[in-house]
Chains A and B, each alone.
Chain A
């Protein structure tokens, strides 16, 4: 599931492309490194392989982080190094699955920290790939807002700390679309105006989830009949879609070639702040509310530095500053007070509670994954 490619400004689309390249290279590396034995990509057997590297890392006091692009900027790393004397090295990935594949293939043993999303946390705990956190070493985890105090994907935050959250919604050209979209159904109702001028995410669970939600089902439906109904409904809309795109829609939207794109809030909100013609809206019937976390893989070297980094990011001031720079919402209750009024009042960045309550986190669906993938192949090849 190719997921968010974060960027600060729509004018930086070239950077985003380079990141796509990096992401692809990382993906290739992940596949290339899969020199697996009898158990394919068994994380346990690969763990001791780079023990030497782990010792070297510890000695040099270097912290290697594997994260989403734009989740940790130079400023954050600089402040951390100044505060602790630990050097930070950052590699980026463009989807949870890429990260998982690289770790499973044994190519991620040098990372002390990863940033899995909610459903991936659950999945990785199930695979035994995340270290259980020693709460006595963490300061400030009790300041999380209620929703993240004991999240569904990882109860009691036992293996991960929530870092950021956001929604998935519609970014549209308000000059052309004079009746503003309010819900997913808008895409079907206005398919003539939007014909080949709208995109949905190239992300099975998000796009199928949105259709499921528009039908009144759960984002995490496992009932084959419900998934099939969503498939039929998406297939019906497909002739009117320009493409399934998770990245690279910015230029086309700004030039008017696209009128509406389904986007992640971290990408949509910066565009709407920079150019008021474009508005971001969270669908009324509910959208996906995703959380990205910080976690320590079981193969991690330099765990001490990893805890330092977690504690550093748990500080309300640091968290608030990151929100101001990178435009995602923080789960940190105390940080909220330090965020500028403008951003705090941005209903898209911090949606009201009732809208948030309708949102759903994408959760692992187990065996149904195969079904989602099958229908996705059908939609994109029919």
Chain B
């Protein structure tokens, strides 16, 4: 900037400035380029393609595209398909709530109460199940939940009535909560670990009882973590295919299963399948938009 004062200096440094400018442009490009190209090729273009196909009513593979219209989207508004969407949203919401209720105490204990030198080890133990395939873990739940399964064996051996949970919606909630709990714990742990303990002490000094401290200090401070964890669990469980298919019983049609049926089932209606995919993408985008809007602001207010 200082060089700009003398005309001679300005002349001399012009090429250097241009070079710097180019470098300033190129450097982020070099960093962002590879993932950018990847995202455009693997995310943006396919999504646009799905968007285009979703506008072709009743498109079947091998047929030429004849005209565009919104019929596929209108069809989603039929009661049958709305019920499928509603069930998917219900499964996802229920799973998110269960994960939060079960995950928060665990993350709290891990981040604040557990002995420091054991923390990382305990955390690894918690993530350990993620090292095996989710399909295998879901099959394991069949062994646990079925009428002659492990859970009923334990129940009957202590004299409690047995439960036939297999092939019910409860089985789906259990299976999905189990699958996605580690994500919730991981994110909440990261959030709770950064908790400013001095604020808790100050609140206690000023006469707040533990319950008040928790609701007024701890929860607001970890709200971004809670929001991020809930979002991740909600989004992944909304698109889950394996758990409802294997554990859900005869009434467990979800949006991801419906999309699968449109592409690989008898109907082979790629147009309708694409429209359903766009709706799923929209639902996920809306969840992310909510996170961006409400997830980050609160901590600034409280800190």
A binding-site residues for B, Cβ under 8 Å: 1-2, 17, 20-21, 27, 30-31, 34-36, 38-43, 95, 97-98, 100-101, 104-105, 127, 196, 204-205, 238, 241-244, 248, 251-252, 255-257, 369-370, 372-374, 376-382
Contact = CB atoms under 8 A, between A and B. Distances in A.
18 contacts: A20-B135, A21-B133, A38-B65, A40-B62, A40-B63, A41-B61, A100-B61, A101-B61, A101-B264, A204-B266, A248-B142, A257-B166, A370-B58, A373-B269, A374-B267, A379-B250, A381-B83, A381-B84
Contacts of B136: 17
A115 to B, nearest CB: 17
Contacts of A35: 49
A21 B135 contact: yes
Given A34-B61, A40-B63, A241-B249, 16 more contacts: A1-B265, A17-B136, A21-B133, A21-B135, A35-B49, A41-B62, A101-B263, A256-B148, A369-B267, A369-B268, A372-B267, A374-B80, A374-B267, A377-B81, A380-B257, A381-B87
B119 interface: no
B249 A248 contact: no
Contacts, number: 125
Interface residues on B, range: 35 or more
Q: Secondary structure of the B side of the interface?
A: loop
B146 interface: yes
Interface in B261-285: 261-270
Q: Which of A36, A40, A251 has the most CB atoms of chain B within a 10 A radius of its CB?
A: A40
B253 interface: yes
A373 B53 contact: no
Contacts of B257: 380
Given A1-B265, A101-B263, A369-B267, A380 B250 contact: yes
A251 B81 CA distance: 33
B252 interface: yes
Contacts of A100: 61, 268
Contacts of B139: 17, 248
B80 A377 contact: yes
A98 B263 CA distance: 9
A128 to B, nearest CB: 9
Contacts of B64: 38-39
Interface in B33-75: 49, 53, 58-65
B80 A204 contact: no
Contacts of A255: 146, 148
Contact of B267 (A105, A373, A381, A382): A373
Given A242-B167, A376-B261, A381 B253 contact: yes
Q: Which of B60, B83, B136, B265 has the most CB atoms of chain A within a 10 A radius of its CB?
A: B265
B239 interface: no
A48 B166 CA distance: 50
B62 A380 contact: no
Contacts of A98: 264
Contacts of A242: 166-167, 249-250
A16 B83 CA distance: 32
B20 interface: no
Given A97-B265, A255-B148, A243 B250 contact: yes
B21 to A, nearest CB: 38
Given A39-B65, A370-B269, A373-B269, A257 B146 contact: yes
B268 A97 contact: yes
B148 A257 contact: yes
Interface string B243-259: 00010111111000110
Nearest to A234: B250
Nearest to B133: A21
A347 B23 CA distance: 79
Contact of B61 (A1, A20, A40): A40
Interface string B139-152: 10011001111000
B298 interface: no
A126 B165 CA distance: 46
A-B residue pairs, 4 tightest by C-beta:
A373-B267, A41-B61, A381-B253, A380-B253
A9 to B, nearest CB: 18
A42 B59 CA distance: 13
Nearest to B271: A40
Contacts of A34: 61
B252 A380 contact: yes
B148 A40 contact: no
A241 B264 contact: no
B164 interface: yes
A41 B65 CA distance: 11
Contact of A377 (B146, B246, B253): B253
B250 A104 contact: no
Interface in B94-152: 133, 135-136, 139, 142-143, 146-149
Given A196-B167, A255-B148, A238 B250 contact: yes
Contact of A39 (B62, B135, B246): B62
Contact of B264 (A97, A244, A256, A380): A97
Contacts of B258: 377
B135 A243 contact: no
A241 B65 CA distance: 41
A1 B53 CA distance: 22
Contacts of B80: 374, 377-378, 381
B266 A369 contact: yes
Nearest to B149: A257
Contact of A95 (B133, B249, B253, B264): B264
A377 B167 CA distance: 17
Nearest to A32: B46
Contact of A205 (B59, B133, B266, B270): B266
Contact of A251 (B142, B260, B261, B263): B142
A21 B148 CA distance: 26
